[in-house]
Amino acid sequence: MRSAPHSHFLRVRTLCSLALLLLAARLHGQTAEEILTTSQTLYINSDSLSLHVVSAHFTTRNRDQEATDEKPSRPVRNNRLLRTEYPSRWLMLEQTVKDDGQPESNTVGILSRSPSFPPVSGTLSGTANRTRTLTNASFTSRLDRVRHALLPSSWWRSESDEKPVALQSVEKRRDISRDGYTAWQISGYDETTRYWYLLTINKDNHQIERSIARREILPRPGSDTGNSKPDDDLFAATDSDRSPPAKSTDFEIVETVFFRQEFNPALDKASFTASTAAREIPVLDKADIGRLTDNRNLITAALGIDQPPAPDSASDAVAGNDGDDASGTPGKKGGKAASRTRNETPASQLLSPEQMAGIVLIQSNDGAATGFMTKLRGVDFIVTNLHVLSGSEGLTFRNLRGETIAVGPAFGAVGSDIALLRIEKAEGSLSASPDVMKTAKIGDKVVVVGNRLGSGVATQVSGLIQGVGPTLVEVNATFQPGNSGSPIFNLTTGEVIGVASYAETRKINIEATYGTAARKSASSDTEIEKRWFGYRIDSVKKWESLDLDEFNRQAARIAEFREFSESLLELVQFRFGSARLHPRLSALFYNYEDQCRRMAGNRRGLMSETQSFLRTVRSLAEASSRELKPETFYDYYRTCQYWENSITAQKEFRSRLVEALKQYEANASVIVSRLSSGGR
């Protein structure tokens, strides 16, 4: 199942508007978007801010940490004081602390900027102070690296007039109420920072009480251990500097507890004098550190941020306090589900025991999915999605009694995301509709049964048929990762009409879609539309025989091609520290930088070396694109609509990157200026 995050909320600029929003919050129940709007407005409408927070930062390599011997990196805990007087005055101080809350040393990291002095970064340590001057671009990069791990980008006032990028895929996860304390927990995705956030927001004042931020660190085969930060610059780390070498996808996780927040405080020059302000960093104790979540529960909560919350959750715990209620953590197709408390009464089983006997639970090394047994033209098969098989190793197929099902030859639908695997005898009584157009009607009741969220049990979610197309059926049964390959069963006809395949989430304009009247009654210009689709088996005209080993080798080739493109994108976007981690680029970067050092001060020489470097990178990009020949791949990879597996989409993306590199070749001064200004 695939989904794309989208969301929207209004930006309000005046304190008067903020007061109205807070009043409205007390008069009626707010949507998640309205809650975020009110909280965001509180922060960006303050001309000055002073925040005291404690953060824990670490990486973990696996969504299901208990399934591997690998352990997450040791958390780095920081006691931070952040002050700003918009637009140009900033001070950030940071001390690394031990488990008991005491500083590990007397060193304090500093990052500051003011109208009177250039930006600086470094450390204070008694009389041994070490700082260095930064360019504005380098300062902003370091500042963003820290503040965006604390709060989404739209909680910080922009230095330009651009509207903040809204959080997407917003979900209200639960209400918290304990001993007079009430709060919401809301999750969302920030395209600017690439973090998923879980925010705990105080209901009384809309201040952020706690945040958990998580983003993926893309694997770079062959990379060495993460770079450590220079001793004289605690803010100079790149995204992966504290990470172990990536063997699979790493996840960077940052939890922050907000101890003291002041909005529009009276700040003077001394407030931004590092040596003076350093004495104001509050001293922590073990109880303060205890407010941070322990590793196991934090991993569970962080890796489940992008999954829908459990309905009517019985737990109202705040992450980090006793009684944690963690979200599910599906992997690529729906990994092993984490602990989740439910108190709703499930609907009665809609499939008969004979029909349920046909459900197949699929597990692989990187996730879980679903299939079902049926007969097609008198032959017994397991039906699932091709994307379930793609790139998956260690596939196992089990019935609901836990028995392993041996599979034989595999086949893929030409022009569709459906796979068949021959089996000796199909169990159960699930039958596929021979002609969906003749039997199914919009409004018919359906049920989708499968391995939802990779839980290892067959659960059901019901809905209605929303639409029928030549190759697809649309339903409003809200299937989730792990349901890939589940049968979409028409309760009216008693037949399977499709294979649950993907979800689509998009932002639509209310006025353009529903009219002016609808817009006037809405709280936003846009709304989020979610749709669920399954491929029709009856519409498949041709099947292609699959060698699963070759099918997975082709998936690996596309993944390698895609990873190189992502590194090229890092280069094009001037994120050289990330780009150089790719094995195809690391040696080129080393040689290029070595030549640049030799030519220090020789701008013409630097321009020539830069053009040569870019030309070599472009040649590599073009050569690998020529090597990826669509005609040598299975139909699924040639016609797939999923961006990550589509050869067509990947080659188009690469061609745009090549064009960007050509433009940089012609204007090498852009790269030279960026490097000389600290844009590494």
CB < 8 Å & 24+ apart, contacts of 64-73 = 64/329, 64/331, 64/335, 64/336, 65/296, 65/299, 67/336, 72/253, 72/295, 72/299, 73/242, 73/243, 73/244
Q: Which residue has the higher pLDDT, 233 or 77?
A: 77
pLDDT at 579 over 50: yes
pLDDT of residue 179: 64
Residue 479 structure tokens? 């299937």
Q: Which residue has the higher pLDDT, 511 or 104?
A: 104
pLDDT band at 105 (very low <50, low <70, confident <90, very high): confident
3-state SS string over 653-673? HHHHHHHHHHHHHHCCHHHHH
Arithmetic mean of pLDDT, 444-461: 93
Q: Name which of 588, 645, 387 is nearest 499 in CA terms.
A: 387
Arithmetic mean of pLDDT, 183-201: 90
* AA letter at 589: F
pLDDT of residue 72: 52
pLDDT at 247 over 50: no
Q: Name which of 116, 59, 40 is nearest 85 in CA terms.
A: 116
Q: How far is CA 459 from CA 425, 462, 584, in A?
A: 24, 10, 45
Q: Name which of 288, 219, 210, 279 is nearest 248 in CA terms.
A: 219
Enclosing H/E stretch for 555: helix 548-572
Specify the pTM: 0.54
Q: For residue 469, how many other CB atoms are within 10 A of its CB?
A: 12
Q: Which fold has domain 353-545?
A: Thrombin, subunit H (2.40.10)
pLDDT of residue 333: 54
Cβ pair 55, 80 in contact under 8 A: yes
> Which of 8-22, 396-410, 465-479, 531-545 is the least confident region?
8-22
pLDDT at 195 over 80: yes
pLDDT band at 181 (very low <50, low <70, confident <90, very high): confident
Predicted confidence (pLDDT) per residue in 128-155, tens digit: 677 788 887 788 888 888 899 999 999 9
pLDDT of residue 338: 36
pLDDT band at 328 (very low <50, low <70, confident <90, very high): very low
Domain ranges of the chain: 15-78+145-303, 353-545, 548-676
> Which of 205-209, 214-218, 453-457 is the least confident region?
214-218
> Which of 214-218, 261-265, 384-388, 478-482 is the least confident region?
214-218
Rounded Cα gap, residues 107 and 347, in angstroms: 59
Greatest mean pLDDT among 180-184, 259-263, 675-679 = 259-263
Length of the chain: 680
pLDDT band at 68 (very low <50, low <70, confident <90, very high): very low
pLDDT at 213 over 50: yes
Rounded Cα gap, residues 508 and 457, in angstroms: 35
pLDDT at 311 over 60: no
Q: Which residue has the higher pLDDT, 636 or 248?
A: 636
pLDDT band at 646 (very low <50, low <70, confident <90, very high): very high
The residues, ordered by sequence, that sit 6+ positions from 402 with a Cβ below 8 Å of its Cβ are none
Arithmetic mean of pLDDT, 88-101: 88
Exposure class string for 487-523: b at 16+ Cβ within 10 A, else e: bbbbeebebbbbbbbbbebebeebeeeeeeeebeeee
Q: Which residue has the higher pLDDT, 621 or 9?
A: 621
Greatest mean pLDDT among 53-57, 164-168, 233-237 = 53-57
> Which of 109-123, 227-241, 386-400 is the least confident region?
227-241
pLDDT band at 309 (very low <50, low <70, confident <90, very high): low
pLDDT at 361 over 50: yes
pLDDT at 332 over 50: no
pLDDT of residue 207: 93
Average pLDDT of every residue of the chain: 80
Rounded Cα gap, residues 309 and 340, in angstroms: 9
pLDDT at 460 over 80: yes
Tell me the three state secondary structure of residue 598. Answer: helix
Predicted confidence (pLDDT) per residue in 588-636, tens digit: 988 888 888 888 778 888 888 889 999 999 999 999 999 999 999 999 9
pLDDT at 192 over 50: yes
pLDDT of residue 526: 59
Arithmetic mean of pLDDT, 214-230: 50
pLDDT of residue 17: 43
pLDDT at 642 over 60: yes
pLDDT at 23 over 80: no
pLDDT at 401 over 90: yes
Arithmetic mean of pLDDT, 317-326: 33
